[in-house]
Amino acid sequence: MGKVVRISTEAESEILEIATSRATFDRVAGLRFPRSVLRGVRDVAAGRVLHRIVREHLGESIRAMVVEGCVVLYVANKEYVDVLRVFAAGRDWHNELKEEEP
């Protein structure tokens, strides 16, 4: 059973720092992700929806879109929820991760 995860948008500098790392992989919430994933999430947060990059690296269980300035990801695999806490960028929104049933 999946859920819709709305992520706050106050961590842009953290994402940019991670995404521009020289390492091939970066560790986020204890899991390893290719830089292209983090760049993709940054771009999604900037308003460019990159379903292909998200699907290639995180799998079909993740869907991304921008709703009212927030990055919204549909998560079918609960293990990603903690990781998604840092996948935010952009404007002054809520500090906390919000979860809503689809």
Domain map (residue ranges) of the chain:
3-100
E-assigned strands of 1-102? 3-7, 25-28, 31-34, 62-67, 70-75, 98-100
**pTM of the predicted protein model:** 0.22
Q: Yes or no: say if 4 and 62 are a contact pair by the CB < 8 Å rule.
A: no
Tell me: pLDDT of 3 over 50.
Answer: no
Confidence of residue 38 (pLDDT cuts 50, 70, 90): low
Q: Are 38 and 85 spatial neighbours (Cβ–Cβ below 8 Å)?
A: no
Q: Name the DSSP letter for residue 9.
A: S
How confident is the model at residue 41, as a pLDDT? 53
Question: Which two tokens mark 25?
Answer: 């992989």
Amino acid sitting at position 53: I
* Predicted confidence band of residue 28 (pLDDT cuts 50, 70, 90): very low
Q: Is the pLDDT of residue 32 over 50?
A: no
The token duo for 76 is 């079918």
pLDDT more than 70, % of the chain: 0
Q: What is the mean pLDDT of residues 52-60?
A: 46
pLDDT for position 96: 34
